[in-house]
A and B are shown apart, each in its own frame.
Chain A
Amino acid sequence: MTDILSISAVQGEPLPWPDATLAELVVAQAARTPDAVAVRQWDDRLSYRELLERAAGVAAALRARGVGRQSRVGVCGQRRPELVATVLGVLLAGACYVPLEPGGPRRRLREIAADAGVTVVIGDAAETEFADAPGIAALGLPGPAPLAPCPARPGDPAYVLFTSGSTGRPKGVLTTHRNVVEFVHGVAAISGADAGVRSLGVASLGFDSVTMDLFVPLLLGGSVQLIGADDRADPVRLARFIAAHQVNWGFITPTVLAMLDPTELPDWKVVFCGGEAVPAELAARWAPGRTFLNGYGPTETTVLAVSGPLTADVTDPVPIGRPLPNHRAYVVDADLRPVPPGETGELLIGGPGLADGYLNRPGLTAERFVPDPFSDEPGARLYRTGDLVRQAADGRIVYLGRADRQVKIRGQRIELGEVEAVLAELPGVDRVVVEAVPGPSGAELVAFVTPADAPDDERLRGHAGPRLTAAMLPARVLRLADLPISAISGKVDRAALRARAAADRADDPARSPVDPDEPLDAAVRRIWTRLLGAAPTAETDFLAAGGNSIAAMRLVAALRAELGRHVDTRDVLTGRTFAGLLELVAAAAAADGDGLTTGNPPTLSPPQRRLWFVDQLAPSSAPYNIAVAHRLHGPLDVTALGVALRAVAERHDVLRWRIPQTGGVPYAVREEPTDVAVPVVDLTGGADRERELAEMLAAGAGHAFDLATGPPWQVTVYRLGPAEHVLAITLHHAVFDGWSEAVLYDDLGAAYEQAVAGRTPRLPALGAGYADYAVWRAERDRRRGEADLAWWTGHLEGAPTVLELPRDRPRPAVQTYVGAEAAVRLPEATDRAVRTLAERLGTTVAAVLLAGFGELLARLTGGDDHVLGAIVADRRLAAFDDVIGFFIDTVPVRVRTGGASFAELVDRCAAELHEVTTHPGAPLERIVEALGVGRDTSRAPLVQVLFNVLNFAPPRLALTGLAAEPAPVPKPGSPFDITVYVVERAGRVGVEVVHNPDLFDGERIDALLADLAALVGVLAANPDAPARQVAAELPRPTVRVAQLGAMTVAAAESPRVVLPTGPEGLTETEELIAGIWREVLERDRVAVTDNFFDIGGHSLALAEVHARLTAATGRSIKMLDLFRHPTIRALAAGLDGAADRPELARAALRAAARRSRTRRNPPRRPGGTTH
């Protein structure tokens, strides 16, 4: 062995790896963690079990076609989780997969299939792309099948990836299971990857880095976050996907990474960047606060051969690092002799990552894979990378360029010779030279062709399009009479050509600064010109002008950043012409001025999450239902009604959502539209139809929806006679609000009209859906959250967080959500006085009533400072006007009375009601958390009395051929102690109340409303007198004085105490809970007496604790119990005491505690190769 000190040679650390196939290792992982998520794309998840079931189905279908060990099978599928199952299925069958990307250049795909000897192509796009390909069987995705053992051996090929070949023919690199398994273990070691990996699934299946995306997580027990085609094509959507999926590990090219913002992606802790040179500027932006690794490696060495961490202070050219474990790197001269450290030479790589070679290309394989003269291992080979590097003084390798004519365009490796060979085939083209030159969106290809009248761009594109990938298509073509020849070498003068390409670009009008008054078309033209290098005409085609997916991403980003308009990347690529783009941008104006994006997958909004949580706490009651009913006179067409309801649900997808949870985290799933069931209940034979109807309406309004299974609404028709029906609709508040009611009626009426006319109803598609609101809102809250939260905490500083009204019964230990109703209508004189005062003060009737209610509260509680709740409709964009959904926020309203005239109180209330609508970025949940309001199962936090001033004119349903009138439906429950609605009925102001009868007798509430009306009347008539002195006799003692003993909280059952037995003085249950708290709250220490909500816990974290605790103990535990016992000690005691068979429960807990301890082992540290 040569003395490695005097030559450029570096070795990775030795690291063992299992001698097994990929399929065997994934099967083994699935046996360990069958229910863990293996692949996720939004709400589309495959557990390891499901992944394997589907893969086994693919394998069985392939075996039935005679596929077996060492066969090659094409995979052609969309970027859905099933694609991973398809790949795994091919491997399970013992075969080797050949990626054939749907939508790729058709002719090239078929040549690759033919070259690889593929006779079967499988995947959800196989039939579309290959149905008419002779000699190829195209298979869609089969159903699941039982698992059969994988016949492959570790040395067998796992996949063939085709890369650009210099002679005009792509070459296939044969990579084995052993190559991949060894690589996965090496890359996991240098990056500290473990079962917690949520990888970035961004590479296309034909790129070698897809191996990092897929097999690193699947071999470690982590999950692939597989990015769909649309999310992948737009930088904003890409960022949102990465953030929403909490991607924490992954490989990306510098071009794409440059378009992302590191501050938006704090979870992404391990970033591998490579595929092309990483600029130092990018490292400076991304390295702080995370592990940022340069990753280098040709496909021939599997994925990465050299890698290493980069710090923010590196300078160009940045080092690519050191060899991965088990690998060797040498820098050699043209005779393959090592050069001294610091000198430039070709990089040679040795180690178990070396591919077998090129499929059916023995000569080429022998040329690039050469005997290793430096190794102790007899017969070892080295791969000649063709990359020029030098070894820095610290031993790291620095990439300098190519030794040959291979270039990288958008991370794709391209042999210029292949592009030249394809262009030269076209009749009329004499000579062709293709060069890569710096362009506005990274390097771009320029083709120089002779003669001067060579075929035009359209003909060249028509010829090359089906034969070359998008990255290989030249961005520009220059036609020349002759190619310049170098006087020295006598060869084509490539430097002169490159200079010519640069000069051709110089007449480029587009570098002017942004002008705020610039007309829209000029601004779009400027951005287009800057990105594509030439000014467009109206008919200029985006692709023909050299546009590609990356340029489209940049275009979309620039339009958003500079013009505040959002267009979809897809639309840029399908609309194509400049005129088409202008139309898109102009159309985007109305809706998208405020950062709105459309077409988002189902996403829960923060208010929905809060409601979901409340729903979990009180699953048996239905306080968050909205129930409406109309009496319909005339002939009702029930079939048409069902058809019309379906049309409504098609238009408003939120009505098809369900909200399951995993690990305590809720998420939305959208179901496909189906017919809406309309049960008809016949009441015609009943003795007392109206009483029966009232009972049934009440029961329907109280229906307990299961949000996890959906649907979140139901419709019932009650038949009272041949021409008299009642249509009752109950919806969960999570998908509906007061505003939605009018939208529902309008759409139902329009659809019903079409349906009774015998047509299939068509409602206009919405510009934005509820998910778009959720996404828009999340971004808004992110942007404004901190500032708004600071406003709220300042505004509410020192305010009481509990409002106790005199009541008749002790407060139940657990809030009951029962509801009863009462109402008062203001006498005519009071109504007039209230309106007059509102007019005089330039405010609303609601502000006057709030002030009156505040004064009443002061007299009831003896305090001068109260916090109520108010309702704010977060429908701030016109695009949401026609959208059904839950757009409601409950906000705290602070009412301070005392020392003021009523007019001043009204002014204060008016200002308060306005102020509270202007800080929407911090939802109630966050305000409660920030204020440190103690949680308590007996009452809603912070807000126990709601003052609802949303004053909608009650919408009316109009159905063709029917006379409809609203029918009263009892309120299904009371989420608060008291909810006050300010209403207008028949031209008169009134107050309606829903209260909890477990706290208040109806008589007390009736008296309270009467006194409120009386008090408001007197106050409004004497607005300038000190309010406290007006009508001092109100309210009457029946309202003011509580029942004896009622102002207490009923005692909860106290749990049996279990004495500590554990080594740290903890019981086993305590230890288990403490472990879960530590993980969920990400704290190193928790004390058994800490209150969950005092140490950073909030309700959604509690849901996560609940899910983990349920899973760890295998017991059904009420979420409410976690609330009721907010300390570890109390919860453990509650759990131990509640077990029917304590000794069995304890045994289960012991086992769970052991498992929990095992999982808490620290993650493996990175291997020593990088330090």
Chain B
Amino acid sequence: MAEPRFLVVRNDEEQYSIWSTDRELPAGWHDAGFTGSREECLAHVDTVWTDMRPRSVRETAS
């Protein structure tokens, strides 16, 4: 059986998560352009999500 595939996703606050490729993306979440195994996706998030503050907070700060 093939390992389940996941998608790296991002919402409008630019918070990242992962989502099964088999399922419809919930509203407000967007494909961040990376697909892979669960571990690969989480490792990818570790590299791209560099400022973890929600966008609304980041934008009001200096």
Query: Which chain A residues have a beta carbon within 8 Å of chain B's beta carbons?
Result: 69-70, 153, 155-156, 174, 335-336, 356-357, 359-360, 362-367, 369-373, 375-381
Contact of B49 among A69, A362, A376 (CB under 8 A): A362
Contact of A381 among B11, B24, B25 (CB under 8 A): B11
CA distance A69 to B9 in the complex (A): 29
Q: Are B61 and A70 in contact (CB under 8 A)?
A: yes
Contact of B29 among A359, A362, A364, A379 (CB under 8 A): A379
Q: Are A375 and B26 in contact (CB under 8 A)?
A: yes
Q: Are A356 and B29 in contact (CB under 8 A)?
A: no
Chain B residue numbers with a CB within 8 Å of A69 are 61
Q: Give the contacts of B21-62 with A (CB-CB under 8 A).
A: 23-29, 38, 41-43, 45-46, 48-50, 52-54, 56-57, 60-61
Contact of B57 among A153, A363, A370, A378 (CB under 8 A): A153
Q: Are A362 and B45 in contact (CB under 8 A)?
A: yes
Residue of A nearest to B45 (CB): A366
Task: For the complex formed, measure the closest distance between the CB of B27 and the CB atoms of chain A, giving whole angstroms.
Answer: 4
CA distance A370 to B12 in the complex (A): 14
- Asked if A371 meets B52 with Cβ closer than 8 Å, knowing A153-B57, A362-B16, the reply is no
Chain A residue numbers with a CB within 8 Å of B28 are 377-380
The 10 closest A-B pairs by CB, nearest first: A378-B28, A379-B28, A379-B11, A362-B49, A363-B42, A363-B46, A366-B45, A155-B57, A373-B26, A378-B27
Main secondary structure of the interface of A (DSSP, over half): loop
CA distance A70 to B48 in the complex (A): 21
- Asked if A365 meets B12 with Cβ closer than 8 Å, knowing A69-B61, A379-B29, the reply is no
CA distance A373 to B23 in the complex (A): 10
Contact of B15 among A336, A363, A381 (CB under 8 A): A381
Chain B residue numbers with a CB within 8 Å of A376 are 27
Contact of B54 among A70, A155, A370, A372 (CB under 8 A): A155
Chain B residue numbers with a CB within 8 Å of A369 are 15, 17
Task: For the complex formed, measure the closest distance between the CB of B43 and the CB atoms of chain A, giving whole angstroms.
Answer: 6
Task: For the complex formed, measure the closest distance between the CB of B47 and the CB atoms of chain A, giving whole angstroms.
Answer: 8
Chain A residue numbers with a CB within 8 Å of B56 are 155
Among B12, B23, B50, chain A packs the most CB atoms within 10 A around the CB of B23
- Asked if A366 meets B16 with Cβ closer than 8 Å, knowing A156-B57, A357-B52, the reply is yes
Q: Are A379 and B12 in contact (CB under 8 A)?
A: yes
Contact of A378 among B12, B48, B54 (CB under 8 A): B12
Chain B residue numbers with a CB within 8 Å of A371 are 9, 11, 17, 19, 25-26, 29
Q: A156-B57, A362-B45 are in contact. List 13 more A-B contacts (CB 8 A).
A: A174-B52, A336-B20, A356-B52, A362-B52, A369-B17, A371-B9, A371-B25, A375-B26, A378-B28, A378-B29, A379-B11, A379-B13, A380-B26
CA distance A933 to B8 in the complex (A): 81
Among A356, A359, A362, A364, chain B packs the most CB atoms within 10 A around the CB of A362
Residue of B nearest to A369 (CB): B17
Residue of A nearest to B25 (CB): A371
CA distance A70 to B23 in the complex (A): 37
CA distance A372 to B38 in the complex (A): 18
Task: For the complex formed, measure the closest distance between the CB of A374 and the CB atoms of chain B, giving whole angstroms.
Answer: 8
- Asked if A360 meets B52 with Cβ closer than 8 Å, knowing A367-B18, A372-B26, A373-B23, the reply is yes
What are 21 inter-chain pairs, A to B, with CB distance below 8 A?
Answer: A69-B61, A155-B54, A156-B57, A356-B52, A362-B45, A362-B49, A363-B42, A363-B43, A363-B46, A365-B49, A366-B8, A366-B17, A366-B18, A366-B41, A366-B49, A371-B25, A371-B26, A375-B26, A379-B11, A379-B15, A379-B28
Task: For the complex formed, measure the closest distance between the CB of A37 and the CB atoms of chain B, giving whole angstroms.
Answer: 35
CA distance A174 to B19 in the complex (A): 23
Task: For the complex formed, measure the closest distance between the CB of B17 and the CB atoms of chain A, giving whole angstroms.
Answer: 5
Q: Are B52 and A370 in contact (CB under 8 A)?
A: no
Q: Are A356 and B53 in contact (CB under 8 A)?
A: yes
